[in-house]
A and B are shown apart, each in its own frame.
Chain A
Amino acid sequence: MQSALCDLQPTRAPADGALALPSELSIYTAAELHPRWLLWLEALPPDGAPARLHGGAVDQVDAAGMQLLLSLARALALRGQALQLHEPSLVLQQACQALGLQAWLQACQPAPARPQPAGACA
């Protein structure tokens, strides 16, 4: 738990305004992530530009974590903004696969880049 809390800290990648997903995306962190993500969402410029997420650090995922991510995507869709998920970790890709979200993940990939081959970012 303690380590998960520390991992929550880099929620915002200062360079490009992108949201960095924590290493643990699960029921244990969902309640703490939720308000932070809401703040991040409010702070997003409503310019219609795709919202950027970094998924490279994710190494623990459960269905509650994926639900939170889907919920963020739904909120963005309601604002008319696309979601770009950069560098999803292998764990995140596998979770998407296990939950029948391959197509969704595919749609979230930035256009030019293809998903990392399995194992590349683990």
Chain B
Amino acid sequence: MSPDHDTSFIAEALPAFVSEAHEQLHSLEQLLLQLEQAPGDAELLNALFRCAHTVKGSAGIFGLDRVVAFTHHVETLLDQLREGRVSLTPALGTLLLQCNDQIRALVAEAGAPGADDPEADAARAALVQRLQQAGATGPGAVAGLADRDAAGAPPVAAGATTAGAPATGRRWHLAVAFGPDTFRNGMDPLAILNYLRGMGTVQALALDIDGVPPLSQLDPETCALTFEFALDTQATRAEIESAFSFVREDCRLHIVEPGARPEDFVAMIEALPDNPRLGEILIAAGAISRVQLQQALTAQGRAGEAGRPAAPLGRVLQATAGVSPQVVDAALAKQERQRAAPAAAAGGVPEEPRYIRVQADRLDAVINLLGELVIAGAGASLLARQTRQGALVEATTHIGRLIEDIRNGTLQLRMVPIGETFARLRRVVRDTAAELGKDVALELAGGETELDKSVVERIADPLMHLVRNALDHGLESPAQRQAAGKPATGRLLLSACHDSGSILIRITDDGRGIQRQKVLERAWDRGLVERGTVPPDPDIDRLIFEPGFSTAEQVTNLSGRGVGMDVVRRNIEALRGTVTLHSEPGAGATVEIRLPLTLAIIDGFLVGVGASRFIFPLESVVEVIEHRAAQGRTDDRGRSVVQLRGAALPVADLRLLYGLEGPAPERSSVVVLQAGEHRYGVRVDTLLGQHQTVIKPLGRMFRSLRGMSGSSILGNGEVALIFDVPALAALAADPPGRAAADAPPARRNPPPPPQREAAAARPQAVKDTQP
């Protein structure tokens, strides 16, 4: 390949590297945090090492020397951790997390190279020094490195002899099955073997010739090569693995350490990928070689031919190849489990879910087009109904169903679990708690709950602020907690679930709750509430979301970063979400965030009042009942109460609430809606049925309209306004006169646009969707 070719390859592939490296680093961070909960977990340690190693390896391809050089030090320490020569202390955990941040910064720099920063270089050098202190001289150095929080956890010394031990050429056993894409990725197993020869002596190298398919079945560019060999070398495991760094993702590599005991083989068998044959399991674990297996099988065959009952392979292997019974038992147990598993999973090796990376822009373009398709489909369907031709109506109905399926499927593509966003907060909680000297146990629940990617991205920041706020203001210090008769360790629960068509995220702490007196005094000081006035408790709690509010006696560098809770609320409301706070003084507080599942298209329920059309999100619609004119008293804002199956149901009249023109018809209906925990009814003139609603933003003129969340264009070109059900409930629940007296002018209830204006609003709404 020419240098030009290389340069263009690197330019093209670099963004992919940066994105994948970030993923690896994210996993690395999560693994580190998990490891702190379960120190010494071999799988976690291995996974950690692999992450760092992958980042280093791929950074090497792109010539990102700084990343390679720095990550190498991290990798060395992780290797020592893995081999038990160094143990994980809180101080070491912090150091590794800081190093992870450093690598992330270096990778980001690679994506957008800037000038050298001597300060950053110095910081990096300091980290390297600390890494070396922590590792090179063994466990003692970790204690030396230990800062205040490591004092209670002395490191465990374990075989610290290998680091500088004189070389004796230890024998490793390797089995490697190169992945099918090895050749296509430009890698050559021959070159890798030759590289290994540079490290030591390769002995008893065997290529599995039978594993190569015959010519007619061969894809000449697909690699089917498997090798087994011994390697006499002084190199460490990391160094041996580094020979495979460019194929590591793709190949199956098993390394058995020098002087491995039966227990090591047992552990390796447990860790092996699923493979149902006993012999293969043992070969892959390095317990026997293929040759030994062949001999054992032959011996077993001979016994069978001689008329004697053939001994089980396991026993033959013990006799001929000297495999320890313990190892055979482990292999047999694994084999047994694998036989049982496919039966449960209806056969075959369970496949891992496969993924395709798609540019978000392309997906958004498809979803925009889909929105247009839904509108056009609704238009066609309307025209078809007007023609009253049965076949045509049926055809458009069928198309409509298909469009709906496509819509659901496409929107599903953008749904991602919120768990990843939650997991990111682990680090925030860990660091924040350490900074504040608080002790916190974070619990996560409902991480598998899915919501639209764009929502997930935009909720991360508000969540982080809420979590910080809970740690900073909600949870007490351990001493204060104990004085209050609570366990010293605070509890922070982050949960997500689906709830009547939206996502409910809760942040619950068991701290001191909202200190209402303090909040009130601050509100008086700031002029948010007239001095001396004491609003109801929920209103006091709500004050913390008001602009310019802070109760921290000293503005800490955590919550005092200029981003207040008002910004959090604004961000959530921009997502058509709501945030509410429930507090129990002394026992804790819960912040509830309610978010829509998607921002693009919803199932709507179309209704008419006079000449205006409105849409309720279908998930919020519980039922529809007939409205009887003579029922109850209606106040001047159109509010009344009806009896629904023995219970009182508050009903709002849209005509009066929004001052719509036109006389009320004789017959009307009440749409019963679910807003959070409450139900209420809305009186409308006509029911127009279910409607696939493409949400368009409200034009700037109508942003101040209360109770509305967006607009939609109907098939006939009319504009319908979409209700925000909880906001409409809040609007209808306002005490009489309050809206007029308290609300700023923009938040008073302006009449919805007459039809003329709505038509004028259409180009505006359409324009908003243009890229």
- A positions within 8 Å CB-CB of B: 27, 30-31, 33-34, 37-38, 41, 61-64, 66-68, 70-75, 77-78, 95, 98-101, 104
Q: A63-B188, A67-B224, A95-B190 are in contact. Are A100 and B207 (CB under 8 A)?
A: yes
Whole-angstrom distance between the alpha carbons of A71 and B197 in the complex? 26
List 16 contacting pairs A-B, 8 Å CB cutoff, sorted by A.
A27-B183, A30-B220, A30-B221, A34-B218, A64-B220, A67-B223, A67-B225, A70-B209, A71-B212, A74-B210, A74-B213, A75-B216, A98-B190, A99-B189, A100-B205, A104-B209
**A67, chain B: closest CB distance, angstroms:** 6
Q: Is the CB of A63 within 8 A of B225?
A: yes
Cα distance, A72 to B206, chains bound together (Å): 19
Q: If the complex has contacts A37-B215, A74-B212, A75-B216, are A63 and B221 also in contact, measured as CB distance less than 8 A?
A: no
Q: Let me know if A74 and B209 touch, CB within 8 A.
A: yes
In the assembled complex, the CB of A22 is this many whole angstroms from the nearest CB of chain B, namely 13
Among A27, A31, A38, chain B packs the most CB atoms within 10 A around the CB of A27
B475 to chain A, nearest CB (A): 59
The 4 closest A-B pairs by CB, nearest first: A100-B205, A30-B220, A75-B215, A75-B214
Bound complex: CA A38 to CA B216 (Å): 7
Cα(A31)–Cα(B227), bound, Å: 23
Contacts of B207 in A (CB 8 A): 70, 99-101
Contact partners of B206 in chain A: CB under 8 A: 100
Knowing A34-B218, A63-B183, say if A71 contacts B213 (CB, 8 Å): yes
Contact with A along B103-133 (1 / 0, CB 8 A): 0000000000000000000000000000000
Does B193 interact with chain A (Cβ within 8 Å)? Answer: yes
- In the assembled complex, the Cα of A68 lies from the Cα of B206 at a distance in Å of 17
Task: Name B194's closest neighbour in chain A (CB-CB).
Answer: A98
Q: Indicate if the CB atoms of B190 and A33 lie closer than 8 Å.
A: no
Where chain B touches its partner, the secondary structure class is mixed
**Contact partner, A63, options B189, B197, B205, Cβ 8 Å:** B189
Rounded to whole angstroms, the CA-CA distance of A99 and B190 in the bound complex is 7
Task: Name B residues whose Cβ lies closer than 8 Å to a Cβ of A.
Answer: 178, 183, 188-191, 193-194, 197, 205-207, 209-210, 212-216, 218, 220-221, 223-225, 227, 229
Most chain B C-beta atoms within 10 Å of own C-beta, residue among A30, A61, A77: A30
- A41, B214: Cα distance in complex, Å: 11
**Is A31 touching B220 in the complex (CB atoms < 8 A)?**
yes
Excluding A38-B216, A68-B218, A74-B209, 8 further A-B contacts by CB distance (< 8 Å) are A30-B183, A34-B220, A63-B223, A64-B220, A67-B224, A71-B215, A98-B190, A99-B193
Q: In the assembled complex, how far is the CB of residue A97 from the closest CB belonging to chain B, in whole angstroms?
A: 9
Chain A residue numbers with a CB within 8 Å of B193 are 98-99
CA distance A55 to B194 in the complex (A): 22
- Judging by beta carbons under 8 Å apart, are A33 and B209 in contact? no
A34 to B218, CA, bound (A): 8
Most buried by A among B178, B209, B215: B215
Complex interface: chain B residues within 8 A of A77 (CB): 214
CB–CB A64/B212 < 8 A: no
Bound CA span A61–B193, Å: 14
How many Å lie between the Cα of A70 and that of B212 in the bound state? Answer: 7
Q: Give the docked Cα–Cα distance between A73 and B209 (Å).
A: 9
B220: A residues at CB distance < 8 A = 30-31, 33-34, 64, 67-68, 71
- Chain B residues closer than 8 Å to A98, beta-carbon distance: 190, 193-194, 197
Q: Tell me the nearest residue of chain B to A33, going by C-beta.
A: B220
Asked if B190 and A66 sit within 8 Å, CB to CB, the answer is yes
Residues of B within 8 A of A38 (CB): 215-216
**Is there contact, CB below 8 Å, between A67 and B212?**
yes
What are the residues of chain B within 8 A of A41 when measuring CB–CB? 215
Contacts of A27 in B (CB 8 A): 183, 188, 221
Q: Which residues from chain A contact B178 at a C-beta distance below 8 Å?
A: 63
Minimum CB–CB distance from A76 to chain B (whole Å) comes to 8
What's the Cα separation between A81 and B463 when bound, in Å? 70
Residues in chain A near residue B224, CB distance under 8 A: 67
Assembled-state Cα–Cα distance A87/B178 (Å): 30
Contact A72 B190 (CB under 8 A): no
Find the residue from A38, A74, A95, A101 having the highest chain B CB count within 10 A: A74
> Shortest distance in angstroms between A82's beta carbon and chain B's nearest beta carbon?
14
Most chain B CB within 10 A, of A30, A63, A72, is at: A63
- In the bound complex, residues from chain B placing their C-beta under 8 Å from that of A67 are 212, 218, 220, 223-225
* A64: min CB distance to chain B, Å: 5
A109 to chain B minimum Cβ distance, whole angstroms, is 16
Residue of A whose beta carbon sits closest to that of B193:
A98
**Residues B188 and A64 in contact, CB atoms below 8 Å apart:** yes
Distance of B229 from chain A, by nearest CB (Å): 7
Nearest residue (CB) in A for B213 is A71
Minimum distance in angstroms from B279 CB to a CB of chain A: 20
A74 lies within 8 A of B214 (CB)? yes
Given contacts A74-B212, A100-B206, contact A64 B194 (CB under 8 A): no
Other-chain contact of B227, A37, A71, A100 (Cβ < 8 Å): A100
Q: Please give, as numbers and ranges, the residues of chain A lying within 8 Å of B183 by CB-CB distance.
A: 27, 30, 63-64
Minimal Cβ-Cβ distance residue in A for B192:
A63
Determine the chain B residues whose CB is within 8 A of the CB of A100 once the complex forms: 205-207, 227, 229
Chain B nearest CB, measured from A83 CB (Å)? 12
Q: Which chain B residue has the least Cβ–Cβ distance from A26?
A: B188
* Assembled-state Cα–Cα distance A22/B188 (Å): 19
Residues of A within 8 A of B194 (CB): 98
B227 surroundings in chain A (CB, below 8 A): 99-100
CA distance A37 to B220 in the complex (A): 11
